[in-house]
């Protein structure tokens, strides 16, 4: 499979390079004027470099025509008629084809790649080398064209949703302070994004036009799901009033539980966080873990294997001696510090990292006390004592 993929890439690159420098003349003499249906005449000839994935790079010499009867746009400018065959490949006046635009857009927004990665992939696979600025312009153009395609296909999406019982309109806004808000309308049954807008702030007067556009494109929803924000609640009520029909407006259970969880847990959680900071518990545990890491760093790969072997075969209530024992103490110190990974990015109250850190510290405290009773190796005992010491103040308050 890899060999076949490499062969296809080499063939694509060979085809792209084979057309480099070739001049292609494009003209459509049979083109009729779209206004009067009369004949056309040559106005001018323009030349530009074109790069596409399907046809490679070439020089397009395009003949631009105008109406022989001198038809004009509403602004008074002469009517310009470009070759339709070339316009289906590359935008009028553009240098990069639509397929290049799509390739960049998919990598940027689906694979989350950077501009330089886009450039390297295009050069390696297709022999096309746009600048960093051109990659940014093409990625923005991809979004504009995708939005236009979404609007054009809205009637087909509407028909598909109506065949299967309509849609539930989920609405929510998210953003960062000072950077505006992204408002999204989402069909939860099919996981379709029906619309997305950048608004300056979460306000009903800004949200209502977005919802009106969704209703105009896809019809009335069978229900509306929204969060508990005042602006979204008011905007949803306005939609129902405009439609003049009974549409259930539902509150998101996750947002409800989040609010309830904050009300119930915030005071005690803040107290626990303050105690951890007051006694500098994390700082002392982190200091011990770093000291042991620096001390053992040349042999850490082998010592990890020794610790794993001890966990599988040896007595769990007795630490090994020597550097293997120190590595085990280091692992015990590091485990509470890795609490943020276990939260998987969840925010309070669903994720409570300080509580998880506290719970892990309790486990490590009990383990350190047990190992200290049986530890005979002096360096291991010293490390265990340092591991238990920063928790002593917590223990005096009955917290560990």
Domain residue spans in the chain?
1-95, 97-149, 154-251, 263-396
Which CATH number among 3.10.129.10, 3.30.420.10, 3.30.420.40, 1.10.260.40 corresponds to the domain 154-251?
A: 3.30.420.10
> Cis link prior to 349 (omega < 30° from 0)?
yes
Ramachandran sector of residue 280 (left: φ over 0; alpha: ψ -120 to 50; beta: rest): left
Return the SS3 of 241: helix
- Per-residue model confidence as pLDDT tens for the chain (400 residues): 667 666 666 666 566 555 556 777 778 888 888 888 888 888 888 888 888 888 888 888 888 888 888 888 888 888 888 888 888 889 888 889 999 999 999 999 988 899 999 898 888 888 888 888 999 999 999 999 999 999 999 999 999 999 989 999 999 888 765 567 899 999 989 999 999 998 888 889 999 999 999 999 999 999 999 988 889 999 999 999 998 888 999 988 888 888 888 889 999 999 988 988 888 888 888 888 888 888 888 888 888 888 888 777 766 678 888 888 888 888 888 888 888 888 777 888 888 989 999 888 888 888 888 888 887 788 888 888 888 775 555 555 555 5
Ramachandran sector of residue 66 (left: φ over 0; alpha: ψ -120 to 50; beta: rest): beta
The whole-model pTM stands at 0.64
pLDDT value for 365: 86
Residue written as tokens 């990974």? 341
C-alpha distances in Å from residue 268, one per residue of 262, 265, 274, 340: 10, 6, 10, 19
Q: Which residues pair with 100 in a beta bridge?
A: none
C-alpha distances in Å from residue 83, one per residue of 73, 254, 325: 18, 54, 77
pLDDT value for 212: 93
| Residue 296, φ and ψ in degrees, nearest 5 | -105, 0
Find the largest Cα–Cα distance for the chain: 104
CB-based contact 365:388 (threshold 8 Å) = yes
pLDDT value for 396: 55
Work out the number of other CB atoms within 10 angstroms of the CB of residue 203: 16
| Residue 219, φ and ψ in degrees, nearest 5 | 85, 180
Beta-strand pair 168-175/223-226: parallel
Tokens for 91, please give them.
Answer: 């935008």
């Amino acid at each position: 499979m890899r060999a076949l993929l490499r062969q296809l890439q080499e063939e694509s690159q060979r085809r792209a390079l084979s057309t480099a420098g070739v001049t292609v003349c494009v003209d459509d003499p049979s083109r009729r004027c779209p206004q009067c249906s009369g004949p056309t005449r040559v106005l001018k000839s323009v030349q530009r470099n074109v790069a596409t994935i399907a046809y490679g790079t070439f020089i397009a010499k395009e003949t631009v025509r105008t109406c022989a009867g001198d038809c004009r746009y509403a602004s008074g400018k002469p009517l310009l008629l470009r070759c339709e065959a070339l316009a289906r490949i590359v935008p009028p006046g553009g240098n990069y084809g639509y397929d290049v635009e799509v390739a960049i857009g998919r990598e940027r927004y689906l694979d989350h790649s950077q501009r330089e990665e886009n450039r390297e992939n295009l050069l390696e696979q297709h022999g096309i080398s746009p600048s960093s600025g051109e990659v940014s312009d093409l990625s923005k153009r991809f979004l504009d064209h995708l939005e236009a395609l979404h609007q054009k296909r809205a009637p087909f999406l509407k028909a598909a949703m109506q065949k299967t019982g309509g849609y539930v309109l989920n609405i929510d806004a998210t953003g960062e302070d000072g950077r505006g808000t992204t408002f999204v309308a989402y069909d939860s049954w099919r996981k379709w994004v029906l619309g997305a807008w950048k608004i300056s702030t979460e306000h009903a007067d800004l949200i209502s036009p977005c919802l009106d556009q969704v209703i105009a494109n896809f019809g009335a929803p069978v229900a509306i799901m929204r969060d508990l924000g005042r602006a979204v609640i008011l905007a949803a009520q306005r939609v129902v009033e405009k439609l003049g029909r009974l549409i259930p407006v539902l509150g998101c259970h996750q947002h409800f539980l989040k609010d309830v969880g904050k009300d119930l847990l915030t005071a005690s959680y803040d107290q626990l966080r303050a105690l951890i900071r007051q006694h500098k518990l994390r700082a002392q545990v982190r200091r011990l873990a770093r000291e042991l890491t620096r001390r053992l760093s040349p042999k850490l790969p082998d010592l990890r294997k020794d610790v794993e072997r001890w966990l599988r075969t040896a007595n769990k209530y007795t630490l090994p001696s020597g550097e293997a024992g120190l590595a085990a103490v280091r692992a015990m110190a590091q485990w509470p510090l890795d609490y943020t990974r276990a939260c998987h990015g969840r925010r309070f109250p669903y994720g409570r990292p300080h509580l998880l850190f506290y719970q892990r510290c309790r486990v490590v405290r009990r383990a350190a006390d047990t190992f200290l009773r049986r530890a005979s190796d002096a360096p291991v005992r010293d490390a265990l004592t340092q591991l238990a010491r920063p928790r002593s103040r917590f223990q005096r308050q009955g917290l560990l």
